[in-house]
A and B are shown apart, each in its own frame.
Chain A
Amino acid sequence: MANLIGARIERKEDKKFLTGKGRYTADINLANQTYAYFVRSPHARAKITKLDHSKAMKAPGVIDIFTGDCVVKDKIGGLICGWKIVSQDGKDMKCPPHPVLAKDSVNFVGDHVAVVVAETLEQAKNAAELVNVSYKLQKAVTRTEEATKFENIHEGIDNNLSFDFLLGDKGKTEEAFSKADKIVKLDLVNNRLIPNAMEPRAAIGDYNTSSDELTLYTASQNPHLDRLIMSAFNAVHPEHKFRIVAPDVGGGFGSKINVYAEDVVVAYASKKIGRPVKWVAERSESFMSDNHGRDHVTHAELAMTNDGKITGLKVDTIANLGAYSLVLAAVTPTYLYAPLVLGIYDIPVACCTVKGVYTNTAPTDAYRGAGRPEATYVIERIVTQAAKEMGMDQAEFRKKNFIKKFPHQQCLVHNIDSGDYDAHLDKAIELADYKNFENRRSQSAKKGKLRGIGFSTYFEACGVAPSAVVMSIGAGVGLWESAEIRFNPTGNVSVFTGTHSHGQSHETTFAQIVGDKLGVAIENIDIVHGDTDKGPFGMGTYGSRSLTVGGTAIVKACDKIIAKGKKVAAKMLEGKPEDIDFKGGEFILKNSNKKKTIGEIAFACYLPGTFGDVKSPLPEGVEPGLIETSFFDPSNFSFPSGTHICEVEVDEETGETKLVKYTVVDDFGTVINPLVVEGQVHGGVAQGVGQALYENAHYDESGQLTSASYMDYTMPRADNFPQITLDYTCTPATSNPIGAKGCGEAGTIAAPAAVMNAVIDAVGSDVSMPATAEKVWKVLKKNGSKKAAA
């Protein structure tokens, strides 16, 4: 059997997805199905003074209308924050009530107020127009930096401050700064983004009035977690009678981690009316009501010696949580952010404060990279600025400060097990032809373009772990993962994973691992996920955890299969289990030519006896069947790292920035399938470039979302990109037996800093994200560019 790990195998998923045969939630239609349409707040902040749906109730096709009063009466719980943060004064973070249907007040444009359930979608929409909601308008706050100075938008949450978080040693850091030869300061804005998964969210509640079973089909990254939250907190239905299916899901990027109001409401409504209730978001609903990402305002300072050695780092951030606190809203800008501001530099002391604030905007939560892109942006911008102020080459400055020895205990949280930062920087410099950059700069100047180069030497922490530690700092659950390997009697294999694939290609990558481990052909392996009725409980997919945590659970379950197989083989081959070797799918008795294939062993496990030709008695004490389950709780995160080098050309007349060269060298440890990994990196880079140059969720003064469609929200497009040069270095992770490090978010984490450093290098002064043409033009004009002024 060829080595599958490391092979460029085309995705098993391609056939269905590339031929339009994916089966998404919206594709599911159930008998007797009804349609839900949500009445949403058109205002950013208001009191609901009256809600009259009597006219709407009489509209054609309407079955029922549910409001905030109904869910209160039926004791449906509100949406939760799943990981609570403690402030520096020792107090718990403050979370406002977040009902699934608003009762007294609305807090952002798109906030869910009522739901109309009708025979057709058209009828539901027509009736929704007749639901009469009276609002008493209140002044709204949308801007991150203004939140703490604004009147309280939630009762009892003073200064709109949810938490004031501190990581690191303030005193020691101040001391380092007082001794510093040089201090570099930087103010940064990390722009708010809208995730824009290709498939909008969708949910169908299907209550079976006979069996009392409730099924929810939903576009989710973590169906088991959804079920747990919806039964334990929203009190929708008991867990053992509740099934959640997340079928094909067209991208999540974090926006499909949360249990949303719509999930709870369609499940609840289906129970109330005894029929399936279907809701599919329109794109404008996605823009308004999916969780948004980023939205930080930061001040950072770096202390250095005269010869360019970093001696300390101070970061103060305000993070906009939006109107409420979602499941991972608080951990994202704190534990997933603050430890990462150190980057890959050997920084002896540091501290980071984060104020989480409420505003009248869509709630924010994890968005691809979740905290790490924001952190990387801080450190990679300030390090570049420092090199410039020191008059040092930016690659040299980085190398001088890189962590060199592993394992390395950082001064904030992480103990980095492995890495070689010089290696990926050197390789990237070579591939990007850094030494000839100045030639290219002059070539561009001849065409009237300003050329700039930017670096981002990132690391990130993925596969949040271990459970005991994360729970001690506020996580509502542990972050282990499950796997079950089920050999079927005919010798093919069903693999159940608690992770969920919504673009990550698990069906291919995981099959490669199992194929290699067990010596089974890849086409005889089925990866099963996305249904709480199928596999054991699992935590889902986010934070680049699936391979390192979920993949390891699979490896461990394979090991159990092999261990049992050896016992069975020993009996059949008339040897001792310890004398059986397993290789390439065969159990071989040492020093003999006697062997059994794993298929024969599986068969024996299901036919434990002698019948005609079949002679497969099981050894005493060995149970029939060949199914093994494993739960893996990693001892540490994994720490991928890498170097991105970006070159841009800026048009001096218009301020338009064009990406002209992009080089990436990543250290993801062991790579299972380079084809899949490169797809992840390409997509990640595109999203990071999107943040740097194009994307921006914009609210106006009154709290209206003015970038609420593709007419106004700029997505990166294929013609915005040059060919991306990709390569790898490899230092295997030590925290999992595969040696893998997460790769799903790296592109998005590194790219914004690389691009912005390049833009700033080109124009010669600071520009904020997104570096739109007009913004850059204004900077050029201010800097005295004649072309920009003409």
Chain B
Amino acid sequence: MKSFNFKSATNTKEAAKLVSGRATFLAGGMSLLPAIKLRLAAYSDLINIKKIKGLSGIKVSSKSIKIGATTTHAEVAGSKEVGKSIPSLAVLAEGIGDPQVRNRGTIGGSIANNDPAADYPSACLALNATIHTSKRKIAADKFFKGMFDTDLKKGELIESIEFEVPEKSAYAKYPNPASRYAIVGVYVAKLKDNVRVSITGAGSCVFRSIEIEEALSSNFSPSAVDNVNISSKGLNSDIHASAEYRAHIIKVMTRKAVSSC
């Protein structure tokens, strides 16, 4: 690990000021610190955002749930309100990593990082989320741009993520046997106006499957995907799963998700 300065911000303005030059935000550190230790990244300053008041916590209304950026996975998993209005989101959070990771890692860090195999990005897309930042509001559809790449500008801080409460929803994750990130994760949500289906782990970035959304829109049942042709083109291939296998697992996980909705 190359040495760096550690600074804590107590409000968002201070955070914005501190994050100049070769500095970056530090939330739970579950993705950032390993990258620094492995010398894949180096920074002059890490700006701790966990001390910023109001950046953590869960606010529920009838239409949406708003989760503060520094809310940990464990807090989301254990939240009664989340469990009641979007149970699939609590299930997703409970399935991230191990207890240590869930106690440190944050929702803001997860989506800012946008690991192609991370779980939360799929929830954002399927639940038509809005990302509230220090500068603006970004629709989830516009936020996830590519592998480890988002629409965030340098120094822009995620403050909260607002999820639409669906009629029903479910997340089915097929974990990588080694890392237990998603080889394929399918998030299915039946919203007031439409059905949204997002897929993580399978491609270079989380994406929506229009074919599956169409199939489920006309028939919201597991068998609806039977005749959907999922192309393996462009899907990831690695030592754990070929693109062809991932395409197959997308269907299996979609059926599983729909049947547990």
| A residues with CB within 8 A of B | 122, 125-126, 284, 653-654, 694, 696, 698, 706-707, 710-715, 772-774, 777-778, 788, 790
Q: Is the CB of A712 within 8 A of B179?
A: yes
Q: How many angstroms between the C-alpha atoms of A496 and B2 in the bound complex?
A: 45
Q: Is the CB of B178 within 8 A of A790?
A: no
Q: Is the CB of A712 within 8 A of B239?
A: yes
3 A-B pairs closest in CB distance: A714-B178, A711-B179, A714-B177
Q: How many angstroms between the C-alpha atoms of A126 and B2 in the bound complex?
A: 8
Q: Is the CB of A715 within 8 A of B245?
A: no
Q: How many angstroms between the C-alpha atoms of A711 and B35 in the bound complex?
A: 13
Residue in A706, A777, A790 whose beta carbon sits within 8 Å of that of B239 in the complex = A706
Q: Is the CB of B2 within 8 A of A777?
A: no
Given A126-B2, A774-B240, A790-B226, residue A710 in contact with residue B249 (CB < 8 A)? no
Residues of A within 8 A of B178 (CB): 694, 707, 710-715
Residue in B1, B174, B181 whose beta carbon sits within 8 Å of that of A122 in the complex = B1
Given A122-B3, A714-B177, A772-B177, residue A654 in contact with residue B249 (CB < 8 A)? yes
Q: How many angstroms between the C-alpha atoms of A698 and B238 in the bound complex?
A: 11
Q: How many angstroms between the C-alpha atoms of A788 and B248 in the bound complex?
A: 8
Q: List 18 A-B contacts (CB under 8 A).
A: A122-B2, A125-B39, A653-B252, A654-B174, A694-B177, A698-B239, A707-B178, A707-B239, A710-B178, A710-B179, A712-B178, A713-B178, A714-B178, A715-B178, A773-B177, A773-B241, A777-B245, A777-B248
Closest to A651 in B: B252
Residues of A within 8 A of B251 (CB): 790
Indicate if B232 sits at the interface (CB-CB under 8 A). Answer: no
Mask, B168-200, CB within 8 Å of A = 1, is 000000101111010000000000000000000
Question: Which of B3, B39, B239 has its CB near the most chain A CB atoms (within 10 A)?
Answer: B239
Indicate if B242 sits at the interface (CB-CB under 8 A). Answer: yes
CB distance from A251 to the nearest CB of B (A): 19
Q: How many angstroms between the C-alpha atoms of A774 and B252 in the bound complex?
A: 13
Residues of B within 8 A of A125 (CB): 39
Q: How many angstroms between the C-alpha atoms of A629 and B176 in the bound complex?
A: 54
Q: Is the CB of B242 within 8 A of A774?
A: yes
Q: Is the CB of A774 within 8 A of B245?
A: yes
Q: How many angstroms between the C-alpha atoms of A654 and B250 in the bound complex?
A: 10
Closest to B179 in A: A711
Q: How many angstroms between the C-alpha atoms of A653 and B174 in the bound complex?
A: 12
Closest to A284 in B: B38
Q: How many angstroms between the C-alpha atoms of A710 and B238 in the bound complex?
A: 15
Residue in B39, B181, B240, B249 whose beta carbon sits within 8 Å of that of A772 in the complex = B240
Q: How many angstroms between the C-alpha atoms of A774 and B177 in the bound complex?
A: 11
B window 199-258: CB within 8 A of A: 226, 238-242, 245, 248-249, 251-252
15 further A-B pairs in the complex, CB-CB below 8 A; given A654-B249, A694-B177, A773-B245: A653-B252, A654-B174, A654-B252, A707-B239, A711-B178, A711-B181, A712-B179, A712-B238, A712-B239, A713-B178, A714-B178, A715-B178, A774-B241, A777-B248, A788-B248
CB distance from B182 to the nearest CB of A (A): 13
Residues of B within 8 A of A698 (CB): 239
| B residues with CB within 8 A of A | 1-3, 38-39, 174, 176-179, 181, 226, 238-242, 245, 248-249, 251-252
Q: How many angstroms between the C-alpha atoms of A263 and B226 in the bound complex?
A: 59
Residues of B within 8 A of A773 (CB): 177, 241, 245
Q: How many angstroms between the C-alpha atoms of A675 and B181 in the bound complex?
A: 36
Q: How many angstroms between the C-alpha atoms of A714 and B239 in the bound complex?
A: 11
Closest to B180 in A: A717
Residues of B within 8 A of A774 (CB): 240-242, 245
Residues of B within 8 A of A712 (CB): 178-179, 238-240
Residues of A within 8 A of B248 (CB): 777, 788
CB distance from B228 to the nearest CB of A (A): 11
CB distance from B174 to the nearest CB of A (A): 7
CB distance from B215 to the nearest CB of A (A): 14
Residues of B within 8 A of A778 (CB): 245
Q: How many angstroms between the C-alpha atoms of A788 and B251 in the bound complex?
A: 11
Q: How many angstroms between the C-alpha atoms of A171 and B117 in the bound complex?
A: 57
CB distance from B181 to the nearest CB of A (A): 8
CB distance from A295 to the nearest CB of B (A): 16
Q: How many angstroms between the C-alpha atoms of A774 and B181 in the bound complex?
A: 17
Residues of B within 8 A of A122 (CB): 1-3
CB distance from B24 to the nearest CB of A (A): 20
Closest to B251 in A: A790
Q: How many angstroms between the C-alpha atoms of A694 and B181 in the bound complex?
A: 16
Closest to B184 in A: A654
Q: How many angstroms between the C-alpha atoms of A713 and B248 in the bound complex?
A: 23
Residues of A within 8 A of B1 (CB): 122
CB distance from A685 to the nearest CB of B (A): 18
Q: How many angstroms between the C-alpha atoms of A788 and B244 in the bound complex?
A: 12
CB distance from A728 to the nearest CB of B (A): 33
Q: How many angstroms between the C-alpha atoms of A707 and B240 in the bound complex?
A: 10
Question: Which of A122, A715, A777 has its CB near the most chain B CB atoms (within 10 A)?
Answer: A777
Q: How many angstroms between the C-alpha atoms of A177 and B174 in the bound complex?
A: 48
Closest to A654 in B: B252
CB distance from B100 to the nearest CB of A (A): 14
Residues of B within 8 A of A790 (CB): 226, 251
CB distance from A120 to the nearest CB of B (A): 10
CB distance from B167 to the nearest CB of A (A): 27
CB distance from A651 to the nearest CB of B (A): 9
Residues of B within 8 A of A710 (CB): 178-179
Residues of A within 8 A of B174 (CB): 654
Q: How many angstroms between the C-alpha atoms of A715 and B176 in the bound complex?
A: 12
CB distance from B116 to the nearest CB of A (A): 13
Closest to A788 in B: B248
Q: How many angstroms between the C-alpha atoms of A788 and B226 in the bound complex?
A: 12
Residues of A within 8 A of B176 (CB): 711
Q: How many angstroms between the C-alpha atoms of A706 and B1 in the bound complex?
A: 23
Closest to A125 in B: B39
Residues of B within 8 A of A711 (CB): 176, 178-179, 181
Question: Which of B2, B38, B226, B240 has its CB near the most chain A CB atoms (within 10 A)?
Answer: B240
Residues of B within 8 A of A696 (CB): 239
Closest to A707 in B: B239
CB distance from A447 to the nearest CB of B (A): 14
Q: How many angstroms between the C-alpha atoms of A714 and B176 in the bound complex?
A: 9
Q: How many angstroms between the C-alpha atoms of A122 and B39 in the bound complex?
A: 11
Residues of A within 8 A of B245 (CB): 773-774, 777-778
Residues of A within 8 A of B38 (CB): 284
Closest to A698 in B: B239
Q: How many angstroms between the C-alpha atoms of A97 and B178 in the bound complex?
A: 36
Q: How many angstroms between the C-alpha atoms of A777 and B240 in the bound complex?
A: 13
Closest to B223 in A: A790
Residues of B within 8 A of A654 (CB): 174, 249, 252
Residues of B within 8 A of A653 (CB): 252
Q: How many angstroms between the C-alpha atoms of A452 and B252 in the bound complex?
A: 23
Closest to B253 in A: A654
Q: How many angstroms between the C-alpha atoms of A247 and B239 in the bound complex?
A: 38
Closest to B177 in A: A714
Q: How many angstroms between the C-alpha atoms of A694 and B2 in the bound complex?
A: 34
Residues of A within 8 A of B249 (CB): 654
Question: Which of B178, B238, B240, B252 has its CB near the most chain A CB atoms (within 10 A)?
Answer: B178
Question: Which of A125, A778, A790 has its CB near the most chain B CB atoms (within 10 A)?
Answer: A790
CB distance from A761 to the nearest CB of B (A): 22
Closest to B174 in A: A654
